[in-house]
């Protein structure tokens, strides 16, 4: 049964600030660290949730609400830590970086549930930190790209928190699985080279009405397994389904660790979609 974070909506941002560590990264970026995104009733019953289900928030000092990037870390759903990518600092965006529980201490879909709870926290609370809740983008590298894609494409995970995934402003995964993740396949005793598409695959949930999507991968000859090809297949099936804003960028010459050249593309996509949203709002649409 999914862990519900619904009671979180009753907690104020001030409550979280009392238990979060606040530092000043520089003169223009405010950092709030280790904010729990599950309520106390859930955290007190599970030490692992309490230690892992936390996030960091980084927002520039601005009088205007800023677009928000939720950045999920890589690590094959079995390692990794939340972090602020240097390339996203002081770029006119807020960044939220969540941790989530990891295999083998938990099995699917626990880490997807955690990712959904973290995003629900962002929708509920980011305005208190200077973020624009109407401009929340989901992104991440590798396993993080998979998690961001699952939350955007399979609407049940955010629906558990009374959020329609279509309010996500955009999906921008970097080298993420679009088929069922290889760690989930390992949980089932399958090798990583055996492709699976089931309800834990983002491509299983292709639909016409999804938010704008930019897929970014490394060079198809240098990527992990068939990561470019599965993303290209996802793009094709989204187009067949009638989605009009799915694109893919293949970074020639780069392998799976392709985030450095991809970050400017992420920021460009946030700027593009935010500009479209603001223009539509100004026109009264």
What's CA 216's distance to the chain center, in Å?
A: 14
Hey, is 8 helix, strand or coil?
helix
CA distances for 283 relative to 276, 277, 280, angstroms = 11, 10, 5
Whole-number Å distance between alpha carbons of 93 and 131: 8
Cα–Cα–Cα angle for 133, 138, 139, nearest 5°? 145
Give the pLDDT confidence of 68-91 residue by residue, as tens digits: 999 999 999 999 999 999 999 999
121 in Cβ contact with 37 (< 8 Å): yes
DSSP designation for 184: H
The pLDDT of residue 284 is 79
Distance, CA of 103 to CA of 111 (rounded, Å): 8
What are the structure tokens assigned to 245, written together? 């804003």
Count other Cβ atoms within 10 Å, centred on residue 230.
Answer: 22
- Rounded (5°) CA angle 12-17-23: 150
0.85 surpassed by pTM: yes
Q: Residue 107 to residues 14, 92, 102, 149, 183: CA-CA distances in angstroms? A: 33, 36, 8, 18, 9
In angstroms, the CA 117 to CA 5 distance is 6
User: What pLDDT does residue 282 have?
Assistant: 86
Any alpha helices (H) in the chain, and if so which ranges?
Answer: 13-19, 40-43, 47-52, 110-125, 143-153, 156-159, 182-187, 227-240, 259-282
The SS3 of residue 54 is strand
Output the CA angle 281-165-228, nearest 5 degrees: 105
Q: What is the DSSP letter of 79?
A: S
Q: Is 209 helix (H, G, I), strand (E, B) or coil?
A: coil
Residue 199: burial class (beta carbons within 10 Å; 0-12, 13-18, 19+): exposed
pLDDT averaged over consecutive 10-residue blocks of the chain (285 residues)? Answer: 36 32 46 97 98 97 96 98 96 98 98 99 97 98 98 98 98 98 97 96 98 98 97 98 98 98 98 94 78
Rg (CA), the chain: 18
Find how far residue 221's CA is from the centre of its chain.
26
Exposure string over 49-73, b if 16+ CB within 10 A, otherwise e? beebbbbbbbbbeeeebbbbbbbbb
Q: Domains plus CATH for the chain?
A: 16-279 (3.40.50.1820)
Residues 6+ apart with CB under 8 A from 156: none
């Amino acid at each position: 049964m999914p862990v519900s974070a619904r009671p979180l909506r009753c907690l104020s941002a001030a409550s979280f600030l009392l238990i979060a560590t606040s530092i000043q990264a520089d003169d223009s970026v405010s950092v709030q660290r280790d904010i729990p995104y599950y309520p106390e009733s859930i955290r007190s019953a599970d030490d692992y949730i309490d230690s892992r289900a936390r996030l960091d928030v980084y927002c520039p000092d601005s009088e205007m609400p800023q677009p928000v990037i939720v950045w999920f870390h890589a690590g094959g759903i079995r390692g990794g830590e939340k972090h602020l990518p240097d390339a996203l600092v002081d770029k006119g965006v807020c960044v939220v970086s969540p941790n989530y529980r990891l295999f083998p201490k938990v099995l699917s879909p626990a880490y997807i549930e955690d990712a959904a709870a973290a995003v629900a926290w962002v929708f509920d609370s980011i305005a208190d930190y200077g973020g624009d809740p109407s401009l929340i983008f989901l992104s991440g590298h590798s396993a993080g790209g998979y998690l961001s894609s699952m939350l955007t494409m399979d609407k049940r995970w955010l629906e558990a928190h009374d959020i329609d995934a279509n309010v996500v402003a955009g999906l921008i995964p970097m080298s993420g699985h679009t088929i069922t993740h290889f760690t989930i396949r390992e949980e089932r005793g399958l090798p990583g080279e055996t492709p699976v598409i089931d309800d834990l695959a983002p491509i299983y949930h292709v639909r016409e009405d999804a938010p704008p999507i930019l897929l970014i991968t490394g060079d198809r000859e240098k990527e992990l397994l068939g990561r470019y090809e599965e993303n290209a297949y996802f793009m094709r099936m989204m187009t067949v389904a009638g989605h009009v804003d799915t694109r893919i960028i293949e970074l020639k010459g780069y392998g799976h660790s392709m985030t450095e050249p991809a970050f400017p593309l992420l920021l460009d996509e946030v700027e593009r979609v935010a500009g479209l949203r603001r223009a539509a709002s100004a026109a009264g649409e």
